[in-house]
Amino acid sequence: MRLSQAKPNAVTRITLTRPDDFHLHLRDGAALAAVVADSAARFARALVMPNLKPPVVTTEQAIAYRERILAALPAGSDFNPLMSLYLTETTSAEEIARAKESGVVIAVKLYPAGATTNSDAGVRDLLSAEAALAAMAELGLPLCVHGEVVDSAVDVFDREAVFLQRVLAPALERHPNLRVVVEHITTREAVRFVAAAGSGVAATVTPQHLLLNRNALFSGGLRPHHYCLPVLKRELHREALLLAATQGSPKFFLGSDSAPHSRQAKESACGCAGIYSAHAGIELYAEAFELAGALERLDDFASRFGAEFYGLPRNQGQLVLERQPWSVPEALAFGDERLVPLRAGGEMPWRVVEGGQ
Ligand code: DOR
Ligand code: ZN
């Protein structure tokens, strides 16, 4: 990684190894066609989430979905979609073996049933998925978890911390060799849990959880475009996440959770959870790392630690950002609809100037 500065303390140019996004929603059909170029312009690879309707539950479906993603890419793009399977209570050990053997599926995603978008086919009781978990532990296929309990008795702001104690800690006791990524962590408790766990447990961190706290949901009125799950938390949690992401620990790496929903689906009496950030997928992280005074650690977080966790080679080539402010559009094309991106109508300090495709 290279940082160029015109004067001391004023970096103007950041040269990264081409980064990876280890948590991305690309959807399907017209929505896929509308968004995939944003990720491909910044990231060499992405781990694509399987919560389609219907979900991607077999290796065969994952391979077919990957082909649709490749077909939707701009001409000449070498973006490499890495695939995940959607864990259900009937996922068999044989399916896990097929996934591992495919070389295309690199993880299995746990959605607690009812926890988030398209999670109805997910897992009610993790004990029902023991055969799959045992096979994953044996074969070294990581489990990516949406770490929230679905229990109306638990406050929505506590659901992540309760999940870690009630569900994940016992699962790791039953399967000490299971490799786990706690996705989109949002709390100090999650930072501590992951830091204290063995080297097989890591976490992804989103740009919105590094840059915003829960006040952003209510600033001047209800802000549906800041609503995602797990929901934004208090400032003390944002600070803990920023510290974890920027301290140089290989346990914390980039996973944007960019999750497009149409403007209509968000601006509704029952708005969907999900924030679209792929239009500025690396620029937002550069801003967060600069805020923390840790730009020199961005390369490891964005381009190295995730690849190492998944046992993948580092990318060839570089991506260059410059301090060149630009305005984020109010809305983007999204098939027949519109998509409101993170920071819509606002300004981004960093711009990709080279190496984007
Ligand atoms: O905010 C979210 N949106 N969180 C999730 O877990 C799912 C995602 C989506 O698919 O829209
Ligand atoms: Zn997600």
Q: Can you give the pLDDT at residue 24?
A: 98
- Per-residue pLDDT reduced to its tens digit, 179-234: 999 999 999 999 999 999 999 999 999 999 999 999 999 999 999 999 999 999 99
Task: Answer whether residue 329 is part of any domain.
Answer: no
Task: Answer whether residue 120 is part of any domain.
Answer: yes
pLDDT band at 4 (very low <50, low <70, confident <90, very high): confident
Shortest-distance ligand to the CA of residue 118: 1
Task: Over range 121-135, report the average pLDDT.
Answer: 95
Task: Answer whether residue 354 is part of any domain.
Answer: no
Look at residue 296 and tell me whether its pLDDT is greater than 80: yes
Residue 270 CB contacts under 8 Å (≥ 6 apart), including other chains: none
This model's pTM is above 0.85: yes
- Per-residue pLDDT reduced to its tens digit, 133-168: 999 999 999 999 999 999 999 999 999 999 999 999
On average, the pLDDT of the chain sits at 96
Task: Answer whether residue 13 is part of any domain.
Answer: no
pLDDT band at 6 (very low <50, low <70, confident <90, very high): low
Beta strands 80-86 and 105-110 are parallel
Rounded distance from Cα 42 to ligand 1 centre (Å): 21
Q: Please, what is the end-to-end C-alpha distance for the chain in angstroms?
A: 19
Look at residue 8 and tell me whether its pLDDT is greater than 60: no
CATH number of the domain that residue 228 is part of: 3.20.20.140
List the one residue out of 222, 229, 234 whose CA is nearest residue 267.
Answer: 222
Task: Answer whether residue 231 is part of any domain.
Answer: yes
Task: Over range 319-324, report the average pLDDT.
Answer: 98
Instruction: Answer yes or no: 336 catalytic.
Output: no
Q: Can you give the pLDDT at residue 107?
A: 98
Q: Can you give the pLDDT at residue 61?
A: 98
Q: Can you give the pLDDT at residue 9?
A: 65
**Amino acid in the structure at residue 114:** G
Which residues sit with their C-beta closer than 6 Å to ligand 1? 25, 51, 116-117, 146, 228-229, 259, 273-274
Query: Measuring from atom 3 of ligand 1, which residue has the nearest CA?
Result: 274
Task: Answer whether residue 4 is part of any domain.
Answer: no
Q: Can you give the pLDDT at residue 2?
A: 86
Number of domains comprising the chain: 1
Task: Answer whether residue 324 is part of any domain.
Answer: no
Query: Measuring from atom 8 of ligand 1, which residue has the nearest CA?
Result: 274
Peptide bond into 230 cis (omega under 30): yes
Task: Over range 307-323, report the average pLDDT.
Answer: 98
> CA 17, CA 274: separation in Å to the nearest integer?
28
Q: Can you give the pLDDT at residue 354?
A: 87
- Per-residue pLDDT reduced to its tens digit, 61-107: 999 999 999 999 999 999 999 999 999 999 999 999 999 999 999 99
> CA 9, CA 321: separation in Å to the nearest integer?
16
Rounded distance from Cα 12 to ligand 2 centre (Å): 32
Domain interval for residue 36 = 19-317
> CA 50, CA 86: separation in Å to the nearest integer?
6
Rounded distance from Cα 47 to ligand 2 centre (Å): 10
Task: Answer whether residue 334 is part of any domain.
Answer: no
Do 169 and 218 contact (CB within 8 A), yes or no? no
**Structure tokens, 52:** 């389609």
> CA 161, CA 40: separation in Å to the nearest integer?
33
